């Protein structure tokens, strides 16, 4: 408690297994003064974030990848301050007692109901108080044992958005995430990438396609015959008669292009030229919005994952449709104060437009601690839970764009690994592939080298 009787704000790091559990938790924590700084399915990431982001407490599911009981005591005995752990376990398992034996300050059970929702708030606060008392008195206790459970995942619509500038970083993330979810060597799930940026699309260029005949002839790039612009213009001519019933899987397949024979990734190419967004058809905002919603609705019936790349202005009809339809909106923010402040300033308008910030998740891009802005400062300023940090590696990133080879397939370093970890957030079995090592990427590197 603070001096005036109000409960202090607590910062929480979560180690979760099923995404639906995390969603429920977020709802139960709303308005409690407990903020989720980050959520991860990898034990090492949970540990690192708890320490580096200065978490007050950890809520941990023992089924996260790489879990070891000793980490509970390692956090509790952390040299700077105690970081207590509360278990988050299946009601039918013995994991809760095991975690308490290793030093956890109690546990809540899954699936969560209203009772467990209230209990988790009480336990997290009690854990922090108890850990501080123990540290002051110099007392702590523990002992060892682990467990396991089936992988689970859900189809998602994931919209990638940046409030200010950084469009290429945003598109790079959208492209690499879509490739990770769909490539045979990684997620291997049917995925579609929708380029809904109403300024101009770049996803097709990053994936090696062009709408320019001269570029196709000069570089040998596949030539695109149609895309979003053609789809909208074609629909607009018949919209008064058929409305959104015109948009069917059969129609949409005519505008999609398959990226690579070793992936299940289809692309709806975006606007090729900036002037296309000024076409008469695009001035009918209500119609464009309805088209966007219906396109996404049909696409989610066709694919396991729908990844949408959108531009800055969230009031433009396709951008608005993509945010409303998304299960998650990944808000990409580089470690630059102008971008961080602009993002923070966008939170209230976003809440006003969309009713809640629950689906918005922070992704810190191009991060390097040498840039003088810490992850904690960015999270605190923006006020969203961090989903991922993508490190800065200009050479790898620019080379990937210039060779039309997504780095998630070829880079064995921190940059490629960060996006593979983000993909594992949606497909937990990818964490197992990551654990087994990245030898498979050596062959992929050779396969993706283009002849000059």
Q: For residues 214 and 191, give the distance between their C-alpha atoms in angstroms, rounded to a whole number.
A: 30
From residue 34, give the alpha-carbon distance in Å to each of 10, 243, 271, 383: 5, 45, 42, 12
From residue 141, give the alpha-carbon distance in Å to each of 14, 69, 283, 418: 23, 13, 67, 35
- Residue 53 region by backbone torsions, left for phi larger than 0, else alpha for psi between -120 and 50, else beta: alpha
pTM listed for this prediction: 0.71
**pLDDT band per the 50, 70, 90 thresholds, residue 351:** very high
**pLDDT score recorded for residue 165:** 61
Exposure of 401 by Cβ count < 10 A (0-12 exposed, 13-18 middle, 19+ buried)?
Answer: middle
Q: For residues 397 and 407, give the distance between their C-alpha atoms in angstroms, rounded to a whole number.
A: 7
All structural domains of the chain, each given as residue ranges with its CATH number in brackets, are 10-137 (3.40.50.2300), 156-448 (3.40.50.300)
pLDDT in tens, 219-263: 889 999 999 999 999 999 999 999 999 999 989 999 999 999 889
**pLDDT band per the 50, 70, 90 thresholds, residue 435:** low
pLDDT in tens, 361-393: 999 999 999 999 999 999 999 999 999 999 999
Q: What does pLDDT average to over the chain?
A: 88
Strand 85-90 with 107-110, pairing = parallel
Q: Is the pLDDT of residue 111 over 60?
A: yes
């Amino acid at each position: 408690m603070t001096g005036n009787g109000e409960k202090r704000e607590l910062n929480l790091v979560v180690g979760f297994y099923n995404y639906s559990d995390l969603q429920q938790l977020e709802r139960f924590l709303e308005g409690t003064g407990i903020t989720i700084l980050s959520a991860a399915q990898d034990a090492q990431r949970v540990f690192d974030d708890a320490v580096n982001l200065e978490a007050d407490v950890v809520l941990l599911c023992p089924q996260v990848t790489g879990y070891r009981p000793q980490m509970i005591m390692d956090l509790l005995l952390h040299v700077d301050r105690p970081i207590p752990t509360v278990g988050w376990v299946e009601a039918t398992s013995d994991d809760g007692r095991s975690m308490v034996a290793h030093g956890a300050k109690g546990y809540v059970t899954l699936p969560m109901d209203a009772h467990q929702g209230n209990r988790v708030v009480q336990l997290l606060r009690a854990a922090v108080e108890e850990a501080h008392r123990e540290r002051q008195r110099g007392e702590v206790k523990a002992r060892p044992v682990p467990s396991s459970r089936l992988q689970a995942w859900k189809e998602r619509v994931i919209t990638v958005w940046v409030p200010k500038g950084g469009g290429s970083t945003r598109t790079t993330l959208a492209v690499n995430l879509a490739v990770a979810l769909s490539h045979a060597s990684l997620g291997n799930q049917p995925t579609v990438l929708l380029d809904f940026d109403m300024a101009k699309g770049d996803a097709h260029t990053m994936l090696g396609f062009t709408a320019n005949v001269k570029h196709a002839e000069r570089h040998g790039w596949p030539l695109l015959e149609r895309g979003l612009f053609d789809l909208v213009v074609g629909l607009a001519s018949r919209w008064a008669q058929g409305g959104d019933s015109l948009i069917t899987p059969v129609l949409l397949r005519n505008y999609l292009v398959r990226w690579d024979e070793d992936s299940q990734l289809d692309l709806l190419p975006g606007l090729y030229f900036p002037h296309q967004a000024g076409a008469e058809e695009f001035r009918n905002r209500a119609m464009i919005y309805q088209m966007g919603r219906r396109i996404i609705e049909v696409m989610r019936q066709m694919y396991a994952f729908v990844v949408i790349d959108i531009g800055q202005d969230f009031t433009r009809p396709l951008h608005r449709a993509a945010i409303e339809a998304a299960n998650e909106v990944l808000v990409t923010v580089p470690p630059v104060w102008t971008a961080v402040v602009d993002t923070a300033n966008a939170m209230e308008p976003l809440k006003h437009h969309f009713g809640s910030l629950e689906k918005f998740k922070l992704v810190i891009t191009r991060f390097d601690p040498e840039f003088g802005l810490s992850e904690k400062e960015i999270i605190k300023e923006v006020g969203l839970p961090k989903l991922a940090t993508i490190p800065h590696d200009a050479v790898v990133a620019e080379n990937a764009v210039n060779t039309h080879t997504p780095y998630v397939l070829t880079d064995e370093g921190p940059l490629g690994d960060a996006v593979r970890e983000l993909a594992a957030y949606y497909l937990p079995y990818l964490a197992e592939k990551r654990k087994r090592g990245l030898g498979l990427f050596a062959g992929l590197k050779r396969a993706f080298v283009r002849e000059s």
